Each structure stands twice: as C-alpha cells, then as structure tokens.
A and B are shown apart, each in its own frame.
Chain A
Amino acid sequence: MSRFFTTGSDSESESSLSGEELVTKPVGGNYGKQPLLLSEDEEDTKRVVRSAKDKRFEELTNLIRTIRNAMKIRDVTKCLEEFELLGKAYGKAKSIVDKEGVPRFYIRILADLEDYLNELWEDKEGKKKMNKNNAKALSTLRQKIRKYNRDFESHITNYKQNPEQSADEDAEKNEEDSEGSSDEDEDEDGVSAAAFLKKKAEAPSGESRKFLKKMEDEDEDSEDSEDDEEWDTGSTSSDSDSEEEEGKQTALASRFLKKAPTTEEDKKAAEKKREDKAKKKHDRKSKRLDEEEEDNEGGEWERVRGGVPLVKEKPKMFAKGTEITHAVVIKKLNEILQARGKKGTDRAAQIELLQLLVQIASENNLGEGVIVKIKFNIIASLYDYNPNLATYMKPEMWQKCLDCINELMDILFANPNIFVGENILEESENLQNVDQPLRVRGCILTLVERMDEEFTKIMQNTDPHSQEYVEHLKDEAQVCAIIERVQRYLEEKGTTEEICRVYLRRILHTYYKFDYKAHQRQLTPPEGSSKSEQDQAENEGEDSAVLMERLCKYIYAKDRTDRIRTCAILCHIYHHALHSRWYQARDLMLMSHLQDNIQHADPPVQILYNRTMVQLGICAFRQGLTKDAHNALLDIQSSGRAKELLGQGLLLRSLQERNQEQEKVERRRQVPFHLHINLELLECVYLVSAMLLEIPYMAAHESDARRRMISKQFHHQLRVGERQPLLGPPESMREHVVAASKAMKMGDWKTCHSFIINEKMNGKVWDLFPEADKVRTMLVRKIQEESLRTYLFTYSSVYDSISMETLSDMFELDLPTVHSIISKMIINEELMASLDQPTQTVVMHRTEPTAQQNLALQLAEKLGSLVENNERVFDHKQGTYGGYFRDQKDGYRKNEGYMRRGGYRQQQSQTAY
C-alpha cells in the first residue's frame, strides 16, 4: 500500500491521468469546464471513461484467470510468465488503481499465489518430481512475488484476516446498489467500495457490471473533486501530500472497519475485537512502513523513486494557479538538488529541470538573484554529469556549459549589485530583496576553473590529428573570452587571491602562444606618429608580452600560495623564451631559484618546468648561444624520456612498471596537443648544439686519455652512425646531424652546412622557428666558425705557418673574424701559435706532443702509479718506516710534472724526425 501513497506514484498517476483525459475527452478541451460538460453529455463521457477502466481491469482479471488455471495444473513456468505480465498490466492500470484503491481481486491473487508457492516450496517431494524448468521458475517466482508483495503487505494481511468478510461486504454492497442507495456522501468510501467490488468482478456477472457502471458514475464525480483537491495541494510539498494520503488511508481503513460490524450484525463480539486489533496492527504497520520508506530512500526502492520526483516536478513547476514566489522556486530548487549525487538520479533530466526552473523564474520576474543561483546549480550539474573523472564532457554539454557561463557572466555584469561568493552562507543569501545588494552563494571562479579543466580534458581525449580536434580548439577562443570576462569581473569585486587565480588561468592560456601581431609590429617600425599612436592604443591590450608582464607581476606581488607564483614564473619565462627574449628569460629563471627545489613540486608543475627549460634551450639556440642551449636541454635529452618529461605521451616500455591506476593519473597529466613542443625540433636543436660544442672539443683533445664527453647522447648517435655497415645518404634528422658532424671533423664546413641546412631539414626542423631565416644564417656562421676551430686543432701539426687570408677564404669568414677566433684560441692556450701581424700569418709553435710522446707520457704516469703501489707493498713488508721512499716519490712526481709542462721543447730537439 505504501507504494501508492508515496509522493511519487501519486504525482505520476496525475500526470498520466491528465494525459489520458486529454485523449479521452477531446470535446472537453478545458478541464475546468468538465463538470458542465458532464451534465450535458453524461452518457458519452461515461462510456469513454468506463472503457478505459474496464479495459485495464479486464486485462488484469484475464491474466489472473490464466494464473489460477496454471496453478491448478501446477505449471509454475506459466505462472511466472503470467505473473510478469500481470505486473506490467498492473503498472498500466495504475492510474485507475490510484483513484480506486487497490482492487481486491488483485490482492487476492497475490496472496493466493504466495500461499500456493510457499506450499509448493515446502513440498519437498513434489519439488523433486518437478521438472527443471518448473523448479527454476518456482524459485524465481517465489522471490519475485515476495518482493512484490512487500508493497502490498498491509493489503494482503488485511485480506488474509478476513477474506470472507470482504466477499460478504461485496455482497452487501450489491444489495445496497440494487436498493438504489449509494454512498455518495463520501467519495473515499466510494472508491473503496468500487475497489472491493472489483474483486468480485473476477467472475463478472451482468449485475455487477451494471453496478460497476453506476459506481463509476460516482467515481467520476469523486475523481473530479479529488483532482481539484490534488491540484490545490499540488504546489505544496510532497511530504504533506503523503501525510494527507496517509490520513485518508487510515480514514478509509477505519471506515471500512467501522462499517463492517454495523452491517454485519450477526458477527460476534470476539470477532469484532479481533478486527479492532487487526486494525490497530494494520495502522501501526502502515505507519511504520511509511516511515521506513522515508528512511529507505537510498534502498531498494530507489529504482522506482529515482525518476519519479523529476517527472513530478515538471507539471508542478508549470502548475497553474500557484503563485510563483522566491520561496517556492527556491524550495523546488532544493528539492531538485537533493536528488543530486544519488545513485539513480537521471542527471540529464535534472539539468533539464533546472533549466525549466530558470525559465519559470525569468518568466515570473523573480529577479536576477534567483536566476543566478539556479544558473550556478545548472553549471554544477553539468560538471556532475560525468561521474567518472577520466571521461570528458560531450560536445553539446560543453556548449551548454559555455553558454550558461556566458549568460551568468552577462547577468553578473549587468547587475553590479549582485554579490557572489563561496563564503556567503545559504542562510544569509539575499535573492529577492532588491533594495539591498543581492547575495548569492556560489563561486564563479571555481566554475570557470572547472570549465578550463574540462576543456583540457576534452582536448586530451580528442585525437589531435582529426578535424574534431580543430573544432574543439576553436572553443579555446571562447574559453579565453570567458576567462577574460571573469578576470574583469573579479578585478572589480574579487579578493586578491581570486584575482591571482584567475590571472593564472589567463596566463596559462596565453603563455604558449606566439604573439604574431606583436612580432609583426616589432618588425615594421612605426611609420607615422599619429597612426602609430592609434595603433598603439589599439594594440596595447593585445600585446601578450605586456599582458604577461602585468599579470605575472601582480601575482609575484600579491600571491601567497607558492604554487601559483611558481606556475606564473615558469609561464613568464616560457613566454619570454618563446619570443626570443633570452636574457629576460634567463635572468628570471636564475632569480627564481626554481632549479634548486623544483623536484619538490607536484608533477604538473614539474612538467611545466621541463617545458620551460626546453623552450629556454631552444630560445638560446635561436640566439646562437649553443652552450646555453646545450646545457638547458641536457637534462631532458640525456634521460631519453623527453616525451614523458614534457607530458607529451606515455612511454610504452614502462607499461609493466606501473599499474592501471598510475597510468590513468599520468594520462590525466598529459599536455594537450596544441601545447606540445616538437620533439624532433628539440632533439635536433640539442644535437646540433652538441655537435658545435663537441666536434672542436674532440679535435682539441684527441689524444687526451682523460677526455670526457660533453654529450653522451651525441656520442651515442655518432656510434650508431659508425656501426652502419652501409652508409647511404642521410634520411632522418639524426642521420643528417651525424653526417654533418663527420664533415665538420674534417673541417669541411660546406658539406656540414649542406647536411644541416637543406630541404629535408628545413621541412623537418628549421621552418618551425618563427624566424627561420635568421636562425639559418646564425647556424651557417656557427658552422663556419666551429669548422675553422676544428680544422686548426686537427691540422695545426702539419703546418709551420698558415696565412689568415687562406683561412678566411677557406671558411668564407671575413678576416677580422678569423683573426679574433685564432686570437681567442691562442689566449686560451688551445692553439700553440703566434700571430705574425705584418704578413697576417699564424706561426705554429709545434709544442703539441706527437702521439708517441703523448703515449710515452701516459705510460710514464702509469708507471708512476705502479711504482707507488709497489712501494706500498714494500711498506707492508718493511713496516711503516717508508718515509724515505715517499719523499722520493714526491720528487719524482714533481719532476714528472715539470716534464709535462716544459719538457717538450727540449725533448723535441732531441728527438730526430
């Protein structure tokens, strides 16, 4: 019974009822006029309504009859089938049942069926004989009916108490009917009577039919009145509804019970008592059930209830007549929100409802406060729509979200008297009092931040090479616009903390974009002062460098959380580096001391740091600062995990090392594709800078045993190149660099140049730079210089002297440059030579030891250590008085050092060549 008195079913019946009535009474048109229509064309309406009701009940009775037949022949399978059909049919008939009460025959079949099943269940013998299908069906059906009957528990107990009596009562009713007196005074009674009668209709006779018709006449009236009542109460809360219903039920029950003894005079007192008791019990039970049900909202009832309030709300929101006030709307809103987060809640429907609510609110001019509040909630539910953190919003949802936020912002801008904030308590909200400033709970910043995250998620989950990605990327402008608006809004109203947060968002959307306009402006100096002034005024806001400067400085000054500042600094550096402001970027990096403690930051910040370092390195390279470029890129490149470190993809090989959960987390950290740094470009920049450093170094220290590597990775690439059995023309970027390195080793700068800068490399790497031509010229010059150095290192031993003009011709460098390079080498003691100014020649001094001399020196060194070790053995044998040897040893060493430094010249003169 409780089922029928819950708020949900009640309203559902109403909604379906109203629908039905529209169909069944096409003439009626307007519901309010119905009584009039009834009086005019009573017969017609009657027929229609009766057919609807009859149809349902007939269906039920037919099904019940089949079940009874099946029971008789012990065909449980059939029973099960029919029972399921019955349940469905009952569901269809619900609207009628709600009005009429539960039909008696329905309860009876339920009770009988349960009894029958229990009987079968107990009968072990019979069960054994039963075939498999039947046995299976039996257990299923038993469970089903148990569950089902729980809803009807009170009815069934009632029925079980006095199955006879109800039948009697029916009979009595029949009599009453024949007498022509009907219980018109109380419609409830009428309903129950009809219901009870229905049970009789199991074996419908012509008489009962007639009776039914009559009863239904009354029903019609009662229905109307009931309906009106319902509509009136409609706008009140569902709780009161159910209470009222409950009251009705009790009244019904008591009435019935009261009536029973009066009409059945011959009943004994004992019986009466028993019934009284039963009634009390029943009352208690029903009450308890109601309570239970209220408690149990999350329980197994939920399936039914879940969708119900939503459907219920819809008509009520549109409800005619109700004066839509703030209180009502807020109440409704809260009701909707209560369903939020629950298991069975239909989130899509919830969003729709909220949108309807907004519509209503705006239609009724409830003021912006309410609308803002509802909008907040709509956006929140949009975010809620995906329960899983990994999944991303559907495009339509996303669009809705953007629109909604935009609208919200519109409202907030249009109404400066609205205050929003997280810290405003629900109680202290002011949604309607226009005289005072409106106060609404909710945080626009959080919503926008969340929106931004959703955007990132969408980008992460879209295939970057599809058209879809481009479509999504178009939304970026919208996102930026929204952030900008929020920023403007918060600049007026927000706290510094909030401003910092929104600034960071803005920065995060700005830092990685190359500002082509500003770049263009830089390239073309202002022509006319008047025009440029205008331009400047116009472009002031657009110049991202200025913008970054302003936002970051604010954050540096005002931010109190370390994280925002760190991110801002990194973005700022990145932006500087992207725009080739190397010195600013470097200084900022050094001043921030981020390198010291970045390993303590959380992974996303570390990824940002890595990105920044890489960008810094590339920037240095563009400026021709190969050493800085190499140093900046060394950490990222040497690990061989650049992809992972930059958050641009997961490495496959570590798949077994991490579990599913970790992988998910890492996946969430990935940087969206449009922010990616080209890895090939990165590697190429690294390798080329390594080449420019390493090749001259290798040439200079060819015979030095303690030579260390500048770049391990570069050496690795060289080795890979050497290992190739057949060396074809270079294909990949790496092969190009390796081939270029080989040419450079020989001082052949032209070949080197042609390997580094050609069509293929342009397409792959160099054209990706904003100022590709500048970079290329720089690169050519670098190659020439370093080749010259390499050449001098490698071949200085075969020259007595070399004219600088020749060198200048060979490397196509102008004389002063050659002069400066050679001078530098001489000063750094890399080249043992002197410059002869009048003839412009380099005179070699030949102080470099030959290979043999070098080897001999190394041998001497090694022998020294051997002797030392040997003496130690001696120490052991002799005890510890080896002081004499030690002194001698030192002397020997000193002597050796002397030899190493100055000894060559003498040595050389001695050794004849």
Chain B
Amino acid sequence: MPTAHAQSVPQMASRKEGTGSGGTSSSSATGVVGKGKGKGGSGDSAVKQVQIDGLVVLKIIKHYQEEGQGTEVVQGVLLGLVVEDRLEITNCFPFPQHTEDDADFDEVQYQMEMMRSLRHVNIDHLHVGWYQSTYYGSFVTRALLDSQFSYQHAIEESVVLIYDPIKTAQGSLSLKAYRLTPKLMEVCKEKDFSPEALKKANITFEHMFEEVPIVIKNSHLINVLMWELEKKSAVADKHELLSLASSNHLGKNLQLLMDRVDEMSQDIVKYNTYMRNTSKQQQQKHQYQQRRQQENMQRQSRGEPPLPEEDLSKLFKPPQPPARMDSLLIAGQINTYCQNIKEFTAQNLGKLFMAQALQEYNN
C-alpha cells in the first residue's frame, strides 16, 4: 500500500467568506455521480455535499493517466471554498512524484508556492482537502487515516477524494469523497488505540469514514459542448460498460481480499496472545495476593506487623496491548472490498442475464 502524504496543512484554516469567482456561480446541469449512501453527510458537520468542478475531475484523471500506473497512487491538493453547506472544489494541483534523488524536496514550500501562484491568476487558493487515486479500492490505510486526520484537524471541512481509475476504465466514473467521522476524530486526537479506548468510543469499522455525496457541476458552456459531443460519439465508444469479462477484476479483488484476511488473521492471533498473557498474569497476580493475604493472617495471629504493601503493578507489568487501530482499518478495507465485489458481481450478473437473453433472442 503506497503511502499518502502526511503533509502538514498550511495555515489557511477555514475562511468562509471566500469570494467565489469564475464558473462556480452557475448551478445548473449537475450530474450526480457518487451514489450517495444514505448515511453520508449524516454527521453534524456543516458540509452536507461536495460540489466538484468538471475541471477538477478531468485534472485528477489526467494526473493519474500521466503519472500513476499499477499499484502506484497519485495525490494532489484540492482547492475551493465552503458555501453554505456545500463544499465547492473548484481547482486542484498534483503533488510532484517522489524520486529518491530529491529527498530534500520541500513539499510545504511547493504547496505554498503553487497556491500563491494560483492566487495571482485569480483562482481559489483555499485548501479544502486532497485527492488520491486507488488500486482496486484499497485505500483504507493507516497513512490515509493519518493524513486525513491532520487535514481535518487543521481544516474542519476538508475531505479526501478517492479516484478509482480501474472502475473508471470499466465505464463508470468512480470518484468518492470521504472524511473521518467525529468519533474517529476524537479517538485520533487522543492517540489511544488500545482496545479499551476503542470500546469506550464505541467505534467500529463501519463508523470510521463517512462518505459525502458528490455533485459534479459544469458551466453552461461546457454543458453545451457536451451535448454537441454526445451527438457525434458512436454507441460503440461505450462498449466498456457492457464488457462481460469479469474474471480478471474479480480475481484481483479476491486476491487483495485474501491478503487482508490474512492480515486480519495475524492480528487476531496477536490479540489472542495478548489476551492469554493478560489472563495468565491476572491469575498470577491473584495467586500472589492470596499468598500475601495468608501470610499476613499468620503474622497477625503471631502478633507481628503485617507485610508492607507492595506495588503490584510493578511486580506484574501488564503486557503491551496491541493497537487495535490496524485491525479496524483492515476490517474497514475488507468491508470496502466486499462492497466492491458485491457491486461488481451484481452488475455483472445483470450483464450476463442480458447477454443470455440476447443470445436466446438471436437463436
């Protein structure tokens, strides 16, 4: 899993009175892409919806086309502003790709420079989040969590856009906005990932990230152009959508799922050991206390003073509890995979039935 940039978020915190200019004013012809999953935006956050400019989408796609390949991910900064309960993302720029040669490359400096330059050409320069490409939906990672946490910590309404190029290549644009739930934010602030803390926070893998519905908005001019183009394009161009080849994608997903399950297993084994150790120690502690008590009783009967109290925690150091965050993340990732597979197979089954019907009709 490639690392996400855990960059420090620049100083511009929420500045709500942003003077939106450019094409953001027009609000007609919006196409909902992300199938907003009911609970998205259910939190008490001010932002209920993310409105993305077509430009941003194209820029992200272009960025991946140019630099991302295979399991490598590309990342970048989202710029925009908050308007009422909408987060409008009006522009973005990519992070430069890392190479070993320029280890001393200053990212913060780069971001500042970029934003300053963009400001000069009268573009929104407020930092509202970041985007990242993903490989078969494997984005639920510690790095992403940390990164998003630091963003959200600095800029409350920031989101992360996840772009799945593979799904997009299959015919449907896959772009989703996520942010951490307030619960998880609390936990992350505490930096306590022990089982007890997580239990207390009542956090499960389902309540880690929340998806924010996305709206893609284009200017009228662009819409007109789109209409124009649609007329010209042949149906054949959309054949990816009808591709029946499922095995490769499914296999990859299964493979990844399996890897995560393995990790999960290991995690559980680790936890198991911890549990066993704790209980063993508990027993020892108990025995020790009992012995102590008995001795004290004897002493008392002999008229001697009882033994001094000793610090039990020093004698029995409790074993280090394993951090549960990882397993939570893995569970979250497994969940994502499962969702993906479910979605994919559902679509595919539909396609297969359709193909069968076609076949029968032809015969």
Q: A866-B268, A873-B272 are in contact. Are A855 and B261 (CB under 8 A)?
A: no
Instruction: Collect the chain B residues with CB atoms within 8 Å of residue A912's CB.
Output: 352, 356
Bound Cα distance from A462 to B213, whole angstroms: 85
Are A866 and B247 closer than 8 Å at their CB atoms?
Answer: no
Q: Which residues of A883-913 have CB atoms within 8 Å of chain B's CB atoms?
A: 912
**Does A162 lie at the interface of the complex (its beta carbon under 8 Å from any beta carbon of B)?**
no
Instruction: Collect the chain B residues with CB atoms within 8 Å of residue A856's CB.
Output: 254
Instruction: Collect the chain B residues with CB atoms within 8 Å of residue A851's CB.
Output: 247, 251
21 contacts between A and B (CB under 8 A): A852-B251, A852-B254, A855-B251, A855-B258, A859-B254, A859-B258, A862-B262, A865-B265, A866-B261, A866-B265, A869-B269, A869-B272, A870-B268, A872-B272, A873-B268, A876-B272, A876-B275, A876-B276, A876-B279, A877-B275, A912-B352
Smallest CB-CB separation from B264: which chain A residue? A866
Hey, what's the 0/1 contact readout for B217-257 against A, CB within 8 Å counting as 1? 00000000000000000000000000000010011001101
**Does A858 lie at the interface of the complex (its beta carbon under 8 Å from any beta carbon of B)?**
yes
Bound Cα distance from A851 to B246, whole angstroms: 12
Q: How far is the CB of A671 from chain B (nearest CB, A)?
A: 48
Hey, what's the 0/1 contact readout for A843-855 against B, CB within 8 Å counting as 1? 0000000111001
Bound Cα distance from A202 to B350, whole angstroms: 137
Are B258 and A862 closer than 8 Å at their CB atoms?
Answer: yes
**Does B271 lie at the interface of the complex (its beta carbon under 8 Å from any beta carbon of A)?**
yes
Bound Cα distance from A588 to B272, whole angstroms: 54
**Does A863 lie at the interface of the complex (its beta carbon under 8 Å from any beta carbon of B)?**
yes
Q: Which residues of B272-289 have CB atoms within 8 Å of chain A's CB atoms?
A: 272, 275-276, 279
Smallest CB-CB separation from B260: which chain A residue? A862
Are B271 and A852 closer than 8 Å at their CB atoms?
Answer: no
Are B352 and A859 closer than 8 Å at their CB atoms?
Answer: no
The 5 closest A-B pairs by CB, nearest first: A855-B254, A869-B268, A876-B275, A862-B261, A866-B265
Bound Cα distance from A863 to B338, whole angstroms: 13
Smallest CB-CB separation from A855: which chain B residue? B254
Instruction: Collect the chain A residues with CB atoms within 8 Å of residue B279's CB.
Output: 876
Bound Cα distance from A877 to B275, whole angstroms: 9
Q: How far is the CB of A366 from chain B (nearest CB, A)?
A: 89
Candidates B247, B261, B264, B272; contact of A850 at CB < 8 Å: B247
Main DSSP-derived SS at the B contact region: helix
Point out which of B255, B258, B276, B356 has the most chain A C-beta atoms below 10 A from its C-beta: B258
Instruction: Collect the chain B residues with CB atoms within 8 Å of residue A876's CB.
Output: 272, 275-276, 279
Are A858 and B258 closer than 8 Å at their CB atoms?
Answer: yes
Instruction: Collect the chain A residues with CB atoms within 8 Å of residue B261's CB.
Output: 859, 862-863, 866
Are B265 and A862 closer than 8 Å at their CB atoms?
Answer: yes
Instruction: Collect the chain A residues with CB atoms within 8 Å of residue B269's CB.
Output: 869
Bound Cα distance from A850 to B248, whole angstroms: 11
Smallest CB-CB separation from B254: which chain A residue? A855
Bound Cα distance from A6 to B251, whole angstroms: 102
Instruction: Collect the chain A residues with CB atoms within 8 Å of residue B255's CB.
Output: 855
Point out which of B247, B352, B356 has the most chain A C-beta atoms below 10 A from its C-beta: B247
**Contacts A852-B251, A866-B261 given; 14 further ones with Cβ under 8 A?**
A855-B254, A856-B254, A858-B258, A859-B254, A863-B261, A865-B265, A866-B265, A869-B272, A870-B268, A872-B268, A872-B272, A873-B271, A873-B272, A876-B279
Instruction: Collect the chain B residues with CB atoms within 8 Å of residue A870's CB.
Output: 268
Bound Cα distance from A870 to B264, whole angstroms: 10
Q: Which residues of A822-872 have CB atoms within 8 Å of chain B's CB atoms?
A: 850-852, 855-856, 858-859, 862-863, 865-866, 869-870, 872
Point out which of A851, A859, A869, A912 has the most chain B C-beta atoms below 10 A from its C-beta: A869
Bound Cα distance from A855 to B256, whole angstroms: 10
Q: Which residues of A698-725 have CB atoms within 8 Å of chain B's CB atoms?
A: none
Q: Which positions in A face B, CB cutoff 8 Å? A: 850-852, 855-856, 858-859, 862-863, 865-866, 869-870, 872-873, 876-877, 912
Bound Cα distance from A506 to B254, whole angstroms: 67
Q: How far is the CB of A424 from chain B (nearest CB, A)?
A: 77
Smallest CB-CB separation from A865: which chain B residue? B265
Q: How far is the CB of A886 from chain B (nearest CB, A)?
A: 15
Q: How far is the CB of A261 from chain B (nearest CB, A)?
A: 108
Bound Cα distance from A858 to B250, whole angstroms: 14
Instruction: Collect the chain A residues with CB atoms within 8 Å of residue B268's CB.
Output: 866, 869-870, 872-873
Instruction: Collect the chain A residues with CB atoms within 8 Å of residue B265's CB.
Output: 862, 865-866, 869
Q: How far is the CB of B214 from chain A (nearest CB, A)?
A: 31
Q: How far is the CB of B22 from chain A (nearest CB, A)?
A: 47
Bound Cα distance from A851 to B247, whole angstroms: 8
Hey, what's the 0/1 contact readout for B281-310 against A, CB within 8 Å counting as 1? 000000000000000000000000000000
Q: Which residues of B77-131 have CB atoms within 8 Å of chain A's CB atoms?
A: none
Q: How far is the CB of B134 from chain A (nearest CB, A)?
A: 21
Hey, what's the 0/1 contact readout for B324-363 against A, CB within 8 Å counting as 1? 0000000000000000000000000000100010000000
Bound Cα distance from A872 to B270, whole angstroms: 12
Bound Cα distance from A855 to B254, whole angstroms: 6
Instruction: Collect the chain A residues with CB atoms within 8 Å of residue B257's CB.
Output: 859
Q: How far is the CB of B133 from chain A (nearest CB, A)?
A: 25
Candidates B247, B258, B275; contact of A873 at CB < 8 Å: B275
Instruction: Collect the chain B residues with CB atoms within 8 Å of residue A862's CB.
Output: 258, 261-262, 265
Bound Cα distance from A226 to B256, whole angstroms: 113
Instruction: Collect the chain B residues with CB atoms within 8 Å of residue A858's CB.
Output: 258
Candidates A852, A859, A865; contact of B247 at CB < 8 Å: A852
Bound Cα distance from A869 to B265, whole angstroms: 7
Q: How far is the CB of A742 from chain B (nearest CB, A)?
A: 23
Smallest CB-CB separation from B352: which chain A residue? A912
Bound Cα distance from A191 to B275, whole angstroms: 113
Q: Which residues of B22-79 have CB atoms within 8 Å of chain A's CB atoms?
A: none
Instruction: Collect the chain B residues with CB atoms within 8 Å of residue A859's CB.
Output: 254, 257-258, 261
Q: How far is the CB of B195 from chain A (nearest CB, A)?
A: 11
Point out which of A850, A855, A859 has the most chain B C-beta atoms below 10 A from its C-beta: A855
Bound Cα distance from A912 to B279, whole angstroms: 51
Q: How far is the CB of B113 from chain A (nearest CB, A)?
A: 37
Instruction: Collect the chain A residues with CB atoms within 8 Å of residue B258's CB.
Output: 855, 858-859, 862
Instruction: Collect the chain A residues with CB atoms within 8 Å of residue B275's CB.
Output: 873, 876-877
Smallest CB-CB separation from B247: which chain A residue? A852
Instruction: Collect the chain B residues with CB atoms within 8 Å of residue A866's CB.
Output: 261, 264-265, 268
Bound Cα distance from A14 to B74, whole angstroms: 105
Q: How far is the CB of B353 from chain A (nearest CB, A)?
A: 9
Q: How far is the CB of A509 from chain B (nearest CB, A)?
A: 61
Instruction: Collect the chain A residues with CB atoms within 8 Å of residue B251's CB.
Output: 851-852, 855
Q: How far is the CB of A431 from chain B (nearest CB, A)?
A: 86
Q: How far is the CB of A651 from chain B (nearest CB, A)?
A: 34
Q: How far is the CB of B31 from chain A (nearest CB, A)?
A: 33
Smallest CB-CB separation from A911: which chain B residue? B352
Instruction: Collect the chain B residues with CB atoms within 8 Å of residue A877's CB.
Output: 275
Instruction: Collect the chain B residues with CB atoms within 8 Å of residue A850's CB.
Output: 247
Instruction: Collect the chain A residues with CB atoms within 8 Å of residue B272's CB.
Output: 869, 872-873, 876
Smallest CB-CB separation from B355: which chain A residue? A912
Bound Cα distance from A626 to B293, whole angstroms: 74
Q: How far is the CB of B276 from chain A (nearest CB, A)?
A: 7
Instruction: Collect the chain A residues with CB atoms within 8 Å of residue B262's CB.
Output: 862
Bound Cα distance from A877 to B258, whole angstroms: 27
Instruction: Collect the chain B residues with CB atoms within 8 Å of residue A863's CB.
Output: 261
Smallest CB-CB separation from A858: which chain B residue? B258
Q: How far is the CB of B330 from chain A (nearest CB, A)?
A: 11
Instruction: Collect the chain B residues with CB atoms within 8 Å of residue A869's CB.
Output: 265, 268-269, 272
Smallest CB-CB separation from A876: which chain B residue? B275
Point out which of B264, B268, B352, B356 has the most chain A C-beta atoms below 10 A from its C-beta: B268
Bound Cα distance from A863 to B356, whole angstroms: 33
Smallest CB-CB separation from B276: which chain A residue? A876
Instruction: Collect the chain A residues with CB atoms within 8 Å of residue B356's CB.
Output: 912
Q: How far is the CB of A775 from chain B (nearest CB, A)?
A: 43
Bound Cα distance from A869 to B356, whole angstroms: 43
Bound Cα distance from A592 to B247, whole angstroms: 56
Bound Cα distance from A346 to B269, whole angstroms: 79
Q: How far is the CB of A864 from chain B (nearest CB, A)?
A: 10
Bound Cα distance from A850 to B268, whole angstroms: 31
Are A852 and B250 closer than 8 Å at their CB atoms?
Answer: yes
